[in-house]
Structure 1
Amino acid sequence: MNLSIIIPLLNEQESLPELHQWIVKVMTTHNYTYEVIFIDDGSTDNSWQIIADLSKSNPNVKGIQFLRNFGKSQALHAGFAKAKGDVVITMDADLQDSPDEIPDLYNMIMQQNFDLVSGWKKKRYDSVVAKNLPSKLFNWAARKTSGVYLNDFNCGLKAYKNVVIKNIEVSGEMHRYIPVLAKNAGFGKIGEKVVIHQARKYGESKFGMSRFINGFLDLITIWFLSRYGKRPMHLFGAVGVLMFVIGFLATGAIITLKLIKLYSGYHTILVTDNPLFYIALTAMILGSQLFLAGFLGEIILRTKNNEERYKISTEVNL
């Protein structure tokens, strides 16, 4: 099979028939063998019924329905698990991503041997204040932190080799950082392609300003996991040792000052009157806590079980 097209969605009943027709037109024109996997992430409108109807008329259409809204990362994870195509395309269901981009993305994977190609919506039709400026700041921080130099981490239109999506774990809200996850997994040939961004035709955006706050928090998480996810003691232990050193130095200074004052005839000076006492005490406590955090992290890492991150209600053609 040439292509697996994975489309997570939430309440997109108006756009689904048009999107399906557009995809089929592109697939037929280029004579691709394909599957389209719609993941209904807890829609409350008629989206699932439309997917079910499409699957009856087109056996290449497959569907996964979540019991409730679990998030885009969980939807992509479910789609990745089912994808069978040599090249996997992800795109949004709101018609802002153009299926006409698929052939070029496919060729970049198959002919230029990229592991992953990310779309870049260079010209956007979103609000400048609400999305464009925060997105530019977010992308700048992501590039500096991750070392993956893409212009648009948030673009949902991406292409992957099948082996890439089978070897990465997309959890939480990490869908923004799939290129970083791929790089950390050893897939370093990452490309970028300028793609058409279209104005939303139906409904309203499901994402608000909170996604950028969550995005920055996730960026910190992925930075930590990429460097210390397999060895948390290396970070917590190192900082803990530093705090212990500070505590021992402060304690040594307290003892030295106490001895000096005793020899000078000051017998009523209390150790607690010295500010260094509190510095030493705080540093020792923090050092102990950091060591414990490191040990607990190592224990959890070695004993954790894979948990289900979403519940599937129904599947069609899978």
Structure 2
Amino acid sequence: MDISVVVPLYNEEESLPELMEWIAQVMTQNHFTYEVIMVDDGSNDNSWAVIESLRLKFPSLRGIKFLRNYGKSAALQVGFTAAQGDVVFTMDADLQDSPDEIPELYRMVKEQGYDLVSGWKKKRFDPLLTKRIPSKLYNATVRMVSGIKLHDMNCGLKAYRHNVVKSIEVYGEMHRYIPVIARQAGFKRIGEKVVQHRERKYGTTKFGWTRFINGFLDLLSVMFVSRFGKKPMHFFGTLGTLMFITGGAIAVWLVGSKLWAQFHHLKYRPVTDQPLFYIALVVAIIGVQLFTAGFIGELVSRSSADRNHYLIEKELG
């Protein structure tokens, strides 16, 4: 099968028929073999009934319905697990992503050798203050922290080589950082293509201001887990050791200063009367706690089922 299109959705009953018709038209015109996987993330409208009716007309359509709303990452992960196509596409169900972009994105993966191609909505029709400006700041921050030079990290329209979606895990709200997760898994050929952005035709957006705050926190999480997930002692142990040494050194200096002053019959302040002593004590205690956290994290990491899980690209013999 050439293509799998994964469509996560939540309360998008109006747009689904038009989207499916559009996808089918593009696939037929380009002679692709394909499947469309619509993942209903616990909608409380008639989205699932619409999917069931569309299935009668389009045999290539598959539907998955969650019992409740789990979030976009969960919907994508389930879609990735079910996908069978050589190239897997993701697109939103709100008709703001254009299926007409599929042939060129497919060519970039199959002919130009990209592992992942992300859409870039260079010209957007979203509100300036609530969407476009925060999005630019958000993407600039992600580029700086991750080192991946994509202009629109969170664009719903993306194309993946089959083994990419089978090798990564998307959870929580990490769907914003799939390119980061993919690169950390070893898929470094990541490209970008300017794609058409369309105005929302039906319904309203499902995301608010909190996504920018949550997005930044998720970025910190994914960067930390990728670097120290299997070696937590390298982070906590190093930081804890430095803090313990710093606090201990300050305490020793304070005690040494007192003893030196006593030996030379000079005036001195009792060590316990100095705020710096208590600061040093707190720093040393925090250092011990961090070191212990690293040690416990190391024990947990070594006990995990995927501690020796590695992705093999090629093998001979």
| Range class of TM-score, shorter chain | over 0.9
* Residue-by-residue CA offset, 1:248-272 (whole Å, 9 max, x unaligned): 2112111112212322447995321
User: What's the counterpart of residue 202 of structure 1?
Assistant: 202
Greater relative CO (CA pairs within 8 A, separation 6+): 1
Aligned with 1:64: secondary structure?
strand
Structure 2 regions of 5+ residues with no counterpart?
A: 307-317
User: What's the counterpart of residue 53 of structure 2?
Assistant: 53
Matches within 5 A, 1:18-29: 18-29=18-29
Aligned with 2:114: secondary structure?
coil
User: What's the counterpart of residue 62 of structure 1?
Assistant: 62
Aligned with 1:193: secondary structure?
strand
Aligned with 1:196: secondary structure?
coil
Matches within 5 A, 1:39-188: 39-188=39-188
Q: Which amino acid aligns with 2:95?
A: L
Contact 2:91 2:158 in 1 (8 A): yes
- Alignment RMSD: 1.5
User: What's the counterpart of residue 315 of structure 1?
Assistant: none
User: What's the counterpart of residue 311 of structure 1?
Assistant: none
Aligned with 2:193: secondary structure?
strand
Q: Does 1:271 align with 2:266?
A: no
* In structure 1, C-alpha distance between the alignment counterparts of 2:115 and 2:289, rounded to whole Å: 41
* In structure 1, C-alpha distance between the alignment counterparts of 2:150 and 2:125, rounded to whole Å: 20
Q: Which amino acid aligns with 2:137?
A: L
Q: Could you tell me how far 1:94 is from its partner in structure 2?
A: 0.1
- Which stretch shifts more, 250-259 or 22-31? 250-259
- Which stretch shifts more, 281-290 or 89-98? 281-290
* In structure 2, C-alpha distance between the alignment counterparts of 1:102 and 1:213, rounded to whole Å: 31
Aligned with 2:43: secondary structure?
coil
* In structure 1, C-alpha distance between the alignment counterparts of 2:287 and 2:178, rounded to whole Å: 35
Contact 2:261 2:268 in 1 (8 A): no
Calculate the TM-score normalised by the size of structure 1: 0.93
Q: Which amino acid aligns with 1:246?
A: T
Q: Does 1:300 align with 2:300?
A: yes
Q: Could you tell me how far 1:188 is from its partner in structure 2?
A: 0.5
Contact 2:258 2:268 in 1 (8 A): no
Contact 2:115 2:188 in 1 (8 A): yes
Q: Could you tell me how far 1:288 is from its partner in structure 2?
A: 0.9
Contact 2:74 2:171 in 1 (8 A): yes
* Residue-by-residue CA offset, 1:264-286 (whole Å, 9 max, x unaligned): 44799532112231122111111
Q: Could you tell me how far 1:304 is from its partner in structure 2?
A: 4.2
Q: Which amino acid aligns with 1:205?
A: T
Aligned with 1:213: secondary structure?
helix
* In structure 1, C-alpha distance between the alignment counterparts of 2:264 and 2:248, rounded to whole Å: 24
Aligned with 1:159: secondary structure?
strand
Aligned with 2:253: secondary structure?
helix
Aligned with 2:213: secondary structure?
helix
- Number of matched residues? 306
Calculate the TM-score normalised by the size of structure 2: 0.93
- Which stretch shifts more, 50-59 or 13-22? 50-59
User: What's the counterpart of residue 11 of structure 2?
Assistant: 11
Q: Could you tell me how far 1:305 is from its partner in structure 2?
A: 6.2
* Residue-by-residue CA offset, 1:213-272 (whole Å, 9 max, x unaligned): 111111111121222122111011111111011112112111112212322447995321
